[in-house]
Amino acid sequence: MARILITSAIPYINGIKHLGNLVGSQLPADLYARYNRARGNEVMFICATDEHGTPAELAAAKAGKPVEDYCREMHAVQSELAEGFRLSFDHYGRSSSERNHRLTQHFAGKLADAGLIEEVLETQVYSNADGRFLPDRYIEGTCPNCGSEDARGDQCEVCTKQLDPTDLINPRSAISGSTDLEVRETKHLYLRQSTMRDQLDEWIDSKTDWPVLTTSIAKKWLHDGDGLRDRGITRDLDWGIPVKRGTKDWPGMEGKVFYVWFDAPIEYIAGTAEWADANGKTDADWERWWRTDKGADDVKYVQFMGKDNVPFHTLSFPATIMGSGEPWKLVDYIKSFNYLNYDGGQFSTSKGRGVFMDQALDILPSDYWRWWLLSHVPESSDSEFTWENFQSSVNKDLADVLGNFVSRVTKFCRSKFGEVVPEGPAYGAAEHAVIDALQARLDTYQSHMEAMEIRKASNELRAIWTLGNEYLQDAAPWSKFKEDPEAAATSVRFALNLIPFYATLSEPFIPDAAATMLTAMNAKADWPESAADALNALPAGHAFTVPEVMFAKITDDARDEMQTRFAGNS
């Protein structure tokens, strides 16, 4: 039994996320977690809400609420939506937790002890209109690299270039929109990650199995221009983790907090500790996942994230872990994703363009969205959501192929043999041919899931479903029944045995439908090592029930209505 630690990039607390955010980290991470649990591996799947920094403060101010209250409320909302999409986190924490406060301050102290923290007197943008310093994300302007007019003071989301607020052209306050800005002096702490360039470069080179997207972004940040730059890890904000050197005050840093991108990844560790706290476990129970001196040396650690998060997870967070000098677990594999675009453009909260997680669940059950998103996940390039494609995938894959198969065979059996698996003669050449084909497909499916090749895995699962439909169509027990009811019984028994087989393999993608199939067949999930064994699991006389329609088709009218509803304002 392997031990798999899985973390998904933690979403900002500021509002409900759209489908592109979901498929860029949390959903594929859940797929991998569910698959590994089904294979009998021990899994720890951690995520959290990212509650510090500018996004939280601005969203709270817009909502007219104290930031602590806003974060608490939005954590509850995001937790509920995660449950709605059946995201199977072992713990969904909060970066504002006491555990993360202590652990972030601990890492800062260790880095300072190692000479990797430098106090820097720097110039920073001050807004006269707002009466305060403006940290990076409080400043917007034109990117000097690509010309995007909506770049933030820490990074341009269009070209992903790392920026400082003073790099922006025509900067403005994100709070008031004021351009009455000036540069003043303030003191901050910097992580001297440039001194670790060679160490990080060697570590990244050792990850020969990483996706090209992950490695290329990391290498670009390491070597382009001036190469890896030291990074400020404190900000002039009220909300956040107070700057301390371990448990001690840090002279000169009074009133400052740690930068959100310093403390956020540390929540992966803190969140595992929170899991232990919430479940009556000891420190040893979470340390075995994170401390190589406490048993984590045999853990496989996999991170899932969108490409905009790659630089922090390949460079800054590893620099923090390595620089501490302590035996913390480093990531083994980073599965990164491109962007999901929406119907010819981009998702936009401000313009109401695209489908957001709460809206999606109001329209259709989570399995519809899970299947489309995972089967179209933006692995090798950006992908695009269109309503025509969504309708086609749901209607063809889920309704026509999987749902129709389950409905036809269970209803036919009930009408001719009752709600029990019929006996009939032993399987013949036709059934054994399908078993051989299923075994080959099963082996390929498992190899794609192990490699986290999600699109390929979904294609293989669809092909497995199709084999059952083709068999049922060729066997035609409804035509065979009058002249040879025993042969028809054999075909039905074989087809009924396919249902729990399909349910088990499909559970990582469509967990609700899988549960429906297993309940109907009075069966439990048991990952098939052998297709032949799986197709003999339900004996003659085994009782079942006919499930309700598993997937309703999306009509053209419904598709057009949804397309209009979520087109947004121009």
Q: What is the pLDDT of residues 33-58, one digit of tens each?
A: 999 999 999 999 999 999 998 789 88
Using CA atoms, how far apart are residues 553 and 189, in angstroms rounded to an integer?
A: 57
Using CA atoms, how far apart are residues 102 and 270, in angstroms rounded to an integer?
A: 9
Position of tokens 């075909």? 491
342 with 353: CB under 8 angstroms?
Answer: yes
Length of the chain: 570
Mean pLDDT along residues 288-299: 97
Using CA atoms, how far apart are residues 486 and 427, in angstroms rounded to an integer?
A: 11
pLDDT in tens, 257-277: 999 999 999 999 999 999 999
The phi and psi torsions of 467 (rounded to 5 degrees) equal -60, -40
Give the pLDDT band (50/70/90) at residue 414.
very high
Q: Is the pLDDT of residue 297 over 70?
A: yes
Helix 212-223 to helix 197-205 angle, to the nearest 10 degrees?
Answer: 160
Most distant pair of Cα atoms in the chain: their distance: 92
Nearest to 563 by CA among 424, 308, 385, 432: 385
pLDDT for 254 equals 93
Instruction: Record the pTM.
Output: 0.92
Tokens of 248: 């001690």
Position of tokens 């749901």? 394
CA-to-CA separations, 255 to 234, 241, 409, in angstroms, rounded: 10, 10, 68
CA-to-CA separations, 547 to 335, 384, 404, in angstroms, rounded: 37, 33, 11
Using CA atoms, how far apart are residues 183 and 122, in angstroms rounded to an integer?
A: 10
Position of tokens 């052209």? 169
47 annotated ligand-binding residue: no
Mean pLDDT along residues 455-483: 96
- Domain limits of the chain? 386-534
Give the single-character DSSP code of 55. H
71 annotated ligand-binding residue: no
pLDDT for 471 equals 97
CA-to-CA separations, 325 to 202, 222, 267, 330, 400, in angstroms, rounded: 17, 21, 19, 12, 56
Using CA atoms, how far apart are residues 436 and 26, in angstroms rounded to an integer?
A: 35
Give the pLDDT band (50/70/90) at residue 157.
confident
Give the pLDDT band (50/70/90) at residue 570.
low
3 class by beta-carbon count within 10 Å (0-12 exposed, 13-18 middle, 19+ buried) = middle
Nearest to 136 by CA among 230, 236, 263, 228: 236
Return the amino acid letter for 311.
P
pLDDT in tens, 94-137: 999 999 999 999 999 999 999 999 999 988 888 999 888 887 77
DSSP-based three-state secondary structure for 171: strand
pLDDT in tens, 201-255: 999 999 999 999 999 999 999 998 778 999 999 998 889 999 999 999 999 999 8
164 with 92: CB under 8 angstroms?
Answer: no
Return the amino acid letter for 145.
N
Element (H, E) at 458: helix 454-475
Using CA atoms, how far apart are residues 138 and 53, in angstroms rounded to an integer?
A: 9
349 annotated ligand-binding residue: yes
CA angle 411, 413, 416 (to 5 degrees): 110
236 with 258: CB under 8 angstroms?
Answer: no
Helix 98-113 to helix 266-278 angle, to the nearest 10 degrees?
Answer: 140
CB count, 10 Å around CB of 74? 23
Which CATH architecture is the domain 386-534 placed in? Orthogonal Bundle (1.10)
pLDDT in tens, 307-345: 999 999 999 999 999 999 999 999 999 999 999 999 988
Tokens of 333: 């594999």
Q: Is the pLDDT of residue 425 over 80?
A: yes
413 annotated ligand-binding residue: no
Return the amino acid letter for 315.
L
